[in-house]
């Protein structure tokens, strides 16, 4: 299992601040909320169903986004990694579907994914470097959110298994994007790359705070439980 400390020990891209170290960014990523779920042990069934569906929707949107990017690229290493990335995201959506099935429920159809709000707040990325910069910030948000979710006590085994499995892939996502950004520093300029990452980190905090606020009732459970587990 990937622990939050392991994630935090990863080298941060371009010295940008880590979401894990930022106390104002309570959790990261795709969506907040939580869980408890399940039939016998928890009264949080609807909340968990919503949260896992939120994760699932976010993964679907991620797959579509990276699929579009892969299509727009010429064949080469970047396209190869983008292809791998969107295949992972699609698989993650399937894992969440399977997880919900194992929990004896069905996914909710949610209209708007976390990423939709993300681009609205961050603005349209101007080029591939900026796309990867926003991706690096977003992926850290995701893995931190999943890591935070894992700290909730008495998670159903299916949820723990799914979070753990997905986080293994997410670590590779962060790794390849970080390396690609480093490689692009020569072309775009290191300062420009760092500035892009920081700009998107600011947008990320904004969207995350708004998401938490909008879905406070759904996410407070995971925040409270995770907090008490620390």
Partner 1 sequence: MSAPVGEVVGRIAEVLRRPVAAVQFDTELAAIAPDSFVLVEMVIELQDEFGVRFEHDDMAGLHTVGDVVALVERRRVS
Closer of 127 and 213 to partner 1 (Cβ): 127
CB of 215 to partner 1, least distance (A): 21
CB of 179 to partner 1, least distance (A): 19
For the chain, strand residue ranges (E) read none
Q: Do residues 213 and 120 touch, judged by C-beta distance below 8 A?
A: no
SS3 content of the chain, % helix, strand, coil (to 5): 75, 0, 25
Closer of 61 and 145 to partner 1 (Cβ): 61
Closer of 49 and 173 to partner 1 (Cβ): 173
**Look-up: residue for tokens 């986080």?**
167
Q: Give the list of residues 6+ apart from residue 99 with CB closer than 8 angstroms, or none.
A: 52, 158, 159, 161, 162
CB of 52 to partner 1, least distance (A): 23
Closer of 139 and 156 to partner 1 (Cβ): 139
Q: Which helix (H) or strand (E) holds 205?
A: helix 190-214
CB of 14 to partner 1, least distance (A): 16
Q: Among 168, 43, 158, 57, which residue's Cα sits nearest to residue 115?
A: 57
CB of 22 to partner 1, least distance (A): 23
CB of 131 to partner 1, least distance (A): 6
Residue 194's SS3 state is helix
Closer of 74 and 230 to partner 1 (Cβ): 74
CB of 188 to partner 1, least distance (A): 9
Closer of 71 and 202 to partner 1 (Cβ): 71
Which residues form the interface with partner 1 (CB under 8 A)? 61, 64-65, 68-69, 71-74, 115-116, 119-120, 123-128, 130-131, 196, 199
Region for 155 from its dihedrals, namely left if φ exceeds 0, alpha if ψ lies in -120 to 50, beta otherwise: beta
Q: What are phi and psi of 130, to 5 degrees?
A: -70, -35
**Look-up: residue for tokens 């399977």?**
98
Closer of 171 and 199 to partner 1 (Cβ): 199
CA distances from 37 to 8, 48, 172, 219, 221 (A): 28, 5, 29, 13, 11
């Amino acid at each position: 299992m990937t622990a939050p400390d392991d994630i935090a020990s990863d080298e941060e891209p371009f010295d940008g601040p880590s979401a894990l170290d930022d106390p104002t960014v309570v959790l990261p990523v795709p969506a907040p909320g939580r869980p408890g779920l399940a039939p016998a042990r928890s009264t949080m069934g609807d909340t968990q169903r919503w949260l896992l569906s939120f994760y699932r929707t976010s993964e679907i949107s991620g797959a579509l986004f990276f699929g579009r990017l892969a299509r727009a690229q010429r064949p080469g290493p970047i396209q190869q990694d983008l292809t791998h990335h969107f295949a992972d995201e699609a698989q993650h959506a399937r894992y969440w579907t399977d997880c919900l099935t194992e929990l004896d429920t069905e996914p909710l159809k949610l209209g708007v994914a976390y990423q939709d709000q993300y681009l609205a707040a961050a603005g349209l990325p101007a080029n591939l470097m900026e796309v990867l910069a926003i991706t690096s910030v977003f992926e850290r948000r995701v893995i931190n959110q999943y890591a935070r979710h894992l700290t909730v006590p008495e998670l159903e085994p299916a949820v723990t298994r799914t979070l753990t499995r997905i986080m293994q892939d997410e670590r590779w996502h962060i790794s390849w994007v970080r390396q690609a950004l480093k490689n692009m520093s020569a072309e775009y300029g290191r300062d420009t790359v760092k500035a892009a990452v920081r700009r998107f980190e600011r947008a990320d905090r904004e969207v995350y705070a708004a998401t938490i606020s909008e879905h406070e009732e759904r996410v407070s459970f995971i925040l409270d439980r995770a907090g008490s587990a620390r």
